[in-house]
Amino acid sequence: MGAHGAIYHERQIRELCALHALNNLFQAKGSFTKTELDDICVQLSPDEWINPHKSMLGLGQYDVNVIMTALQLRNYEAIWFDKRKEPLCIDTSNILGFIMNVPSEYKFGFIVLPFRRRHWIAIRKIDKFYWNLDSKLNAPECIGDDADVITYLTNQFKSNDMELFVIVKSDMAKSKRWLKDDSHQ
């Protein structure tokens, strides 16, 4: 990791945005694999003919349970961020990054279909700056420094039906050290 050219960025394939978000977050190809995420789906619902944690067609579209379990396998936690709080309460020095879940249009060529889908996006600090590592982007987009990422997240809450997950080491989740001191509850 380092200069803009050294940022790892997986591009969107099929409905594998959750896989891409995880690999982009950990900055390495193969940090997680489709097979690993599919196995997690089976572990979460072993007796289901149609697995509720992924697309019926097996192309991806993994849900939050799969992401949370995958992170736990690497000693990380995805903490759902309560949108009633301000992102200013996040201590960015104690997190790995963020995963956002945002609405996404479903297109067939140039035609927008009336289906509402959700899309997973990773945001991570690399060197001194936070990067939007959305797999639908041609290249990572620089968000800026710690203050800029908080402003970015605040604006996302205002303009988007977005869910935010703060990604931290497991011990950090238990101690709530990802929150600034006056935010612990």
Q: Is 9 tagged catalytic?
A: no
Query: What is the spatial distance between Cα 15 and Cα 33, in angstroms, rounded to a whole number?
Result: 13
Q: Where are the beta strands (DSSP E) in 133-176?
A: 141-144, 163-169
List, in sequence order, every residue forming a beta bridge with 117; answer none if it has no partner. Answer: 104
Asked if the structure places residue 30 within a domain, the reply is: yes
Is the model more confident about 54 or about 169?
169
Counting Cα atoms < 13 Å in the Cβ hemisphere of 118 gives: 17
Asked if the structure places residue 183 within a domain, the reply is: no
Per-residue model confidence (pLDDT) at position 55: 62
Containing structural domain, residue 29: 4-178
What backbone phi and psi angles, to 5 degrees, belong to 5? -70, -20
Per-residue model confidence (pLDDT) at position 63: 83
Query: What is the spatial distance between Cα 26 and Cα 126, in angstroms, rounded to a whole number?
Result: 11
Q: Which of 4, 9, 17, 184 is catalytic?
A: 17
Q: Which of 9, 20, 53, 119 is catalytic?
A: 119
CATH number, domain with residue 81? 3.90.70.40
Query: What is the spatial distance between Cα 105 and Cα 155, in angstroms, rounded to a whole number?
Result: 20
Asked if the structure places residue 79 within a domain, the reply is: yes
Asked if the structure places residue 131 within a domain, the reply is: yes
Q: Is 17 tagged catalytic?
A: yes
Tell me the pLDDT band of 2, cut-offs 50, 70 and 90.
very low
Q: 127-157 burial by CB neighbour count: b if 16+ within 10 A, else e?
A: eebbbbbbbeeeebeebeeeeebbebbeebb
Asked if the structure places residue 28 within a domain, the reply is: yes
Total of domains in the chain: 1
Segment 104-158, tens digit of pLDDT: 655 555 555 555 667 889 999 999 999 999 989 999 999 999 999 999 999 888 8
Q: What is the DSSP letter of 11?
A: P
How many residues would you count in the chain? 185
What backbone phi and psi angles, to 5 degrees, belong to 167? -105, 120
Asked if the structure places residue 164 within a domain, the reply is: yes
Asked if the structure places residue 184 within a domain, the reply is: no
Per-residue model confidence (pLDDT) at position 53: 62
Asked if the structure places residue 167 within a domain, the reply is: yes
Segment 54-97, tens digit of pLDDT: 666 556 677 888 899 999 999 999 999 988 888 989 999 999 99
